Amino acid sequence: MPLRVLVAKVGLDGHDRGVKVVARILRDAGMEVIYTGLFQTPETVASAAIDEDVDVVGLSMLSGAHLTLAPLVVQALHDRGSTIPVVVGGIIPQQDITLLQEEGVAGVLGPGASADDVVRVVNSVVVD
């Protein structure tokens, strides 16, 4: 059965080109992709992830709010009793990767990540 991945744009970030490219990369790798669209809240992402029974949540962050919003998505999932891993990609400075991991983010993809990197990281965080 293919992996199910929910990809989302959280907060006021209205740039959707990157997330659509990532969605296609994951689809072309054989994954089922659910795209929630722009301007989602951490709560709507968590609810959609649980409702759609996904294996991974992927957040596309270009607004600089990754240190605030990504942990809120992780927390919203945990508050609902979920252990779905969260991967964050976008304009993530190297020095923020450890901070995100400490907040429970399972994988981080920064600028310049290749299609192979995206697929590898998503596959690597899936819990059996």
30: confidence class by pLDDT, cuts 50, 70, 90 = very high
Domain assignment present for residue 127? The answer is no
Asked whether the predicted pLDDT for residue 128 surpasses 70, the reply is no
Q: Would the pTM count as exceeding 0.85?
A: yes
Asked whether the predicted pLDDT for residue 53 surpasses 90, the reply is yes
Domain assignment present for residue 125? The answer is no
Domain assignment present for residue 104? The answer is yes
Asked whether the predicted pLDDT for residue 33 surpasses 90, the reply is yes
CATH of the domain at 21: 3.40.50.280
Domain assignment present for residue 126? The answer is no
Cβ neighbours for 49, distance < 8 A, ≥ 6 positions apart: 6, 57, 77, 82, 84
Asked whether the predicted pLDDT for residue 127 surpasses 80, the reply is no
Domain assignment present for residue 58? The answer is yes
80: confidence class by pLDDT, cuts 50, 70, 90 = very high
Q: For the residues 34-62, what does the mean pLDDT come to?
A: 96
Domain count of the fold of the chain: 1
The helix (H) or strand (E) run that includes residue 109 is: strand 107-109
Domain that holds residue 60: 4-120
Residue 9's pLDDT is 94
Residue 13's pLDDT is 78
If you average pLDDT over every residue of the chain, what do you get?
A: 95
| Cα distance between residue 54 and residue 8, in whole Å | 13
Domain assignment present for residue 128? The answer is no
Residue 11's pLDDT is 87
Domain assignment present for residue 24? The answer is yes
